[in-house]
Amino acid sequence: MARVLSGIQPTGDIHLGNYLGAVRGWVEDQHTQDSYFCVVDLHAITVPRDPAELRAKTLELTLLLVAAGLDPEVCTLFVQSHVHQHAELSWILECVASMGELRRMTQFKEKSSDAEESARVGLFTYPVLQAADILLYDAERVPVGEDQRQHLELCRDIALRFNHRYGDTFVVPDATLPKVGARIMDLQRPTAKMSKSADSPQGTVLVLDEPAVIERKLKRAVTDTATEVTFDPDKKPGVANLLQILAAATGRQPADVAEGYSQYGPLKADTAAAVVELLRPVRERYAELASDPEAVRSTLRQGAEKAEAVASGTLARARTAIGLLSRS
Ligand code: TRP
C-alpha cells in the first residue's frame, strides 16, 4: 500500500468545498492506502490566533474529520504538535532550504500581504515545516489542492538536496497531484473558491450548517439573469457551481445533471436537498462525538503514538545523516 499524508489547518469552519474537494477523498483513500492525516496546529500559529480558540478548533476539526468518516482504526489521525519530531525535523530542513527558494513561495507573499517586516518568521518558514510533515512519514503521495503545488515542489527539492548531500535518507514524494474532488466555488461570488476565510458567510455552506440554513444559502446563490441551465463554468459560473455541487453530491457529471433542468428554481431546490442529505449523517455523527470529546482525545493519543513510531525512525536517520551525535 502506498503511503499517503495530508494536513489540514484547524482554522475556520470546514465547509462544503473542503468536504467535497478533499475530506471525502481522504475517507475513500484510507481503505486503499496507508493514510496519515494530520491536524496542523503548528502551521496555524504562523499568524496570530486566540489561544483558547485554537485549542477548541483543533479538537473540533478532529471530531469533524472522524464524523466525516475518517476511521482512526483504519488511518492514522493525529495532531501535529503531539509529535515533536515535526518541529525538530523542520529545524534540520531549515538548515538545508535556502532564503531564495522560500522567498519565491507565492503563498507567503499573499499571506504576508506585503507587510513582510511584521510577518512572523514562522510564516516564512511554513513550507519547510510542511516538508517535515511529509518527509517524516516517507509519504509517496500527498493529496492536496492546486494551491499547495509549489509547497510540494519545495518539499521534493529539499528531499533531493538532502539525499544528495548527506546520503539517501528521505523518500521523495510524488509531485503529481492526485485527482482531487470537485472544485466548489463561493455561492455569492462563483468566480472565487469557497473558502474558510471568505468574508461572505452567505456564500459558504458549512458542514455543520442546519438544513434550513443550507436551504437558504442555496436558494440565494448567485446565478445570472438568463434562465437556461447549461454547464458553462466560464460564461455561467453560478449555475455551473450549482451543477457541480449537485453532481458531486449524487455521483454524476455536471453536464449530465444539467440536462434534467430548464429553470434555476428547481435546480437550487434539488441541490439544497442533495447537500442536506449528504451532510446530514456527518452532522449527526458530530453531535454524538461532541457529547464525549474524551473518546476522541484518546483516539488522538493513539494516533500520535502510531505517528511517532514512524516519525522517530525517520528523524533518527536524518540526525545521523547530517552529523548530529546521538545521546546514547
Ligand atoms: N499547507 C497546507 C494547506 O494550507 C496544510 C499542510 C500542512 C499540509 N502540512 C501538510 C498539506 C502536509 C499536505 C501535507 O492546505
What are the structural domains of the chain? 3-181+293-322 (3.40.50.620), 201-288 (1.10.240.10)
Full strand arrangement of the beta sheet holding 34-39: 3-8, 34-39, 76-79
Res 199 pLDDT > 80:
no
35 lines ligand 1 (CB under 6 A): no
Q: Binning pLDDT at 50, 70 and 90, where does residue 221 land?
A: very high
Q: Label residue 106 exposed, middle or buried (CB < 10 Å: 0-12, 13-18, 19+).
A: exposed
pLDDT at 180 > cutoff 70:
no
CA of 6 to the centre of ligand 1 (A): 6
pLDDT band at 177 (very low <50, low <70, confident <90, very high): low
Do residues 128 and 99 lie in contact, with contact meaning Cβ atoms separated by under 8 Å? no
The CA 328 to ligand 1 mean position distance, Å, reads 34
6-10, 61-65, 194-198: least confident range: 194-198
Nearest to 142 by CA among 22, 60, 45, 42: 22
pLDDT tens readout for residues 17-42: 999 988 998 999 899 999 999 999 99
pLDDT at 179 over 70: no
- Residue 178: per-residue pLDDT: 53
pLDDT digits (tens, 9 = 90+) for 102-148: 999 998 988 887 688 889 999 999 999 999 999 999 999 998 878 89
At 200, the amino acid letter reads S
Residue with the nearest Cα to atom 10 of ligand 1? 7
pLDDT at 74: 97
33 vs 302: CA distance, rounded Å: 19
Give the three cell numbers for residue 163: 539525499
Q: What is the pLDDT of residue 72?
A: 96
C-alpha dist (Å) from residue 37 to 27, 69, 76, 177, 313: 10, 12, 6, 17, 18
Phi, psi of 191 (to 5 degrees): -95, -5
Amino acid at 122: G
Report, as residue numbers or ranges, the catalytic residues.
Answer: 111, 193, 196
CA atoms in the 13 A half-sphere facing the CB of 153: 10
How far apart (Å, rounded) are the C-alpha atoms in residues 263 and 265? 6
pLDDT at 281: 97
Tell whether the model's pLDDT for residue 176 goes beyond 70. Answer: no
pLDDT of residue 98: 98
Predicted confidence band at 227 (pLDDT cuts at 50, 70, 90)? confident
* Protein residue with least CA distance to atom 6, ligand 1: 7
- φ, ψ of residue 325 to 5 degrees: the values are -70, 135
Distance 19 CA to ligand 1 centre (A): 15
What's the mean pLDDT in 219-237? Answer: 93
Q: CA-CA-CA-CA torsion for 132, 150, 30, 210, nearest 10 degrees?
A: 110
pLDDT of 44 higher than 90: yes
The model's pLDDT over 51-104, given as tens digits with 9 standing for 90+, comes to 999 999 999 999 999 999 999 999 999 999 999 999 999 999 999 999 999 999
Q: Of the given ranges (56-70, 88-102, 195-209, 313-327), which has the lowest mean pLDDT?
A: 195-209
105 residue type, one letter: M
In this prediction, residue 171 has a pLDDT band, given cuts at 50, 70 and 90, of very high
Closest ligand 1 atom to 129 CA: 9
DSSP 191-227: TSB--TT-S-GGG--BTT--HHHHHHHHHT----S--
Residue-averaged pLDDT of the chain? 94
C-alpha dihedral (113, 118, 122, 128), degrees to nearest 10:
50
Q: Do residues 16 and 155 touch, judged by C-beta distance below 8 A?
A: no
Atom of ligand 1 nearest to the CA of 80: 9
